[in-house]
Amino acid sequence: MRIDVLLDVKTTLGEGPLWDAEQERLYFIDSFDGRVFRATADGGELRAWDVPGKIGSMALRKDGAGAIVSLQQGFYALDFRTGDCEPIHDPEPDRPANRINDGKVDRRGRFFAGSMDTMEEGPSGALYRLDPDFSVHEVDTGIICSNGPCFSPDDRTFYFADTWTGEIWAYDFDLETGAVSNRRTFARVDTSEGGAADGSTVDAEGCLWNALVYAGKIVRYTPDGAVDRVIDMPVKKVTSVMFGGPDLDTLFVTSMAKPPLPRFPGDGVQRGSLFAIRDLGVRGLPEPRFGA
């Protein structure tokens, strides 16, 4: 195993690595600077798009025209050709202190994304599902900081974390309807030691990989929630993970250059870099696109 700095872009709050298996391109975002990046697997051909506000996550569209992005003001459609970013729906117009955060697409093209309290203190957030017809459905409530949504390879389990509860949850998932039920604790994180569950992905073996933000660790959990592997990263503020590359065997890891709140720690010179972890002996799964 080796850990490389793929791009030293100093993202203020790097998040959401997303590998496009069709075009073999890596996307990632800077949540605070409101920017979407794209590069090749080796970090080449870097370009970026600005969006009108803080961005929590993105989903590539099946029509190839662009992406769905979750912003502070709700869901938007980003056109890669023109750079236009048009509003779709704001599910929380009455909660100006919230923003939409992490999100992933299921294998029927629905985008699951949750909101968060920007001060990361109160349970004012919720989990939403954006369907291909642009209808929005509330899935769960009472969330402080939404993070880590992802799906098991058999589409029967949905994983999700409220970062500061110290838990990663599992739900029963109905692929036909997009409904989730039977929320339970999948794994616990000891937040007293400084780390907390951030972005996640699931590999081809059904194991969940999670970025422990502020602890500088990547943890692999088996399908029954047991810790299988821990990787120490060169920075503390790792934020999210995604398998990619031509063989889906490189783990891309985002990080932040500046903590979002004063109580969080700083980091070294590699802060805000996009990392690539190679030679893990594990492959990921292609990420679905949004749309019918």
Return the active site residues. Answer: 198
Residue type, 191: T
Rg of the chain over Cα atoms, rounded to whole angstroms, equals 17
Instruction: Name the strand (E) or helix (H) holding 87.
Output: strand 85-89
- CA distances to 31, 101, 150, 263 from 258, in Å: 11, 17, 26, 11
Has 15 been labeled as part of a binding site? yes
User: Who contacts 71 (Cβ-Cβ below 8 Å, separation ≥6)?
Assistant: 34, 51, 52, 53, 54, 55, 56, 99, 100
- Give the list of residues 6+ apart from residue 135 with CB closer than 8 angstroms, or none: none
Strands 25-30 and 14-20: antiparallel
C-alpha dist (Å) from residue 162 to 56, 142, 172, 239:
14, 9, 17, 14
CB 136 within 8 A of CB 129: yes
Q: Confirm whether residue 84 is marked as ligand binding.
A: no
Q: What is the CB neighbour count within 10 angstroms for residue 155?
A: 14
Determine the Cα–Cα distance for residues 180 and 162; give it in Å rounded to an integer: 16
DSSP states along 26-82: EEEEETTTTEEEEE-TTS-S-EEEE-SS-EEEEEEBTTSSEEEEEETTEEEEEETTT
Question: Any binding-site annotation on 147?
Answer: yes
- Residues 6 or more apart whose Cβ sits within 8 Å of residue 281: none
8-state DSSP, 279? -
Residues at the binding site for a divalent metal cation are: 15, 147, 198
Residues at the binding site for substrate are: 99, 101
Residues at the binding site are: 15, 99, 101, 147, 198
